[in-house]
Amino acid sequence: MLKKLFGLDKKQEVEMPEADGKDILVSPADGEVVALSEVPDPTFAEKMMGDGVAVKPSSGVISAPVHGEIVQLFPTKHAVGLKTVNGIEVLIHIGIETVNMQGDGFKAFVKEGDKVAPGDKLIEFDMDLVNEKAESTITPIIITNGDAVGSIDKVEGKEVKAGETEIMSVTAK
């Protein structure tokens, strides 16, 4: 009731850009962007899920890397899937072996169907708890529908700022 009274139930409407075939992805977290080969899980390191990069986060906030729609929010809130205006599917997987935490230490700020813009807060997580209960906080950002991709240009090996620093440029076929 209070939410309705004060207009807090209305999410800010995100203006989606026109599809132009190219998506610029910014980092979803503060930290260091690294090659997928540095992820301590062969599913990601060997690109079984798709190509991309990973971020070693320095804080427990994950934000949208691109304009898009939330197409999947895992019940455990350790991963989120987005679809860009150009049809590119992006998976952000927070940490390694974090599914076993059953959502403990994770808080989502979005739901499926929400439209997001670069920098919008998606998920917060407790880095200390992830470090204690999971294998790693390293966060892969994967393009899961590689068959729709013409090219991917990646930035690796540098410090990044969430919502600001470009980490990938993806051109759709």
List residues with catalytic annotation. Answer: 93
Closest CA to 149 of 171, 121, 125, 119: 171
Collect all residues with Cβ–Cβ distance below 8 Å to 51 and sequence separation of at least 6.
36, 142, 143, 146, 149, 152
CB 101 within 8 A of CB 127: no
Task: Tell me the backbone φ, ψ of residue 82, rounded to 5 degrees.
Answer: -125, 155
Output the CA–CA distances (angstroms, integers) from residue 163 to 66, 115, 136, 150, in the order listed: 8, 15, 22, 24
Distance, in Å, from the CA atom of 52 to the CA atom of 151, rounded to the nearest integer, reads: 11
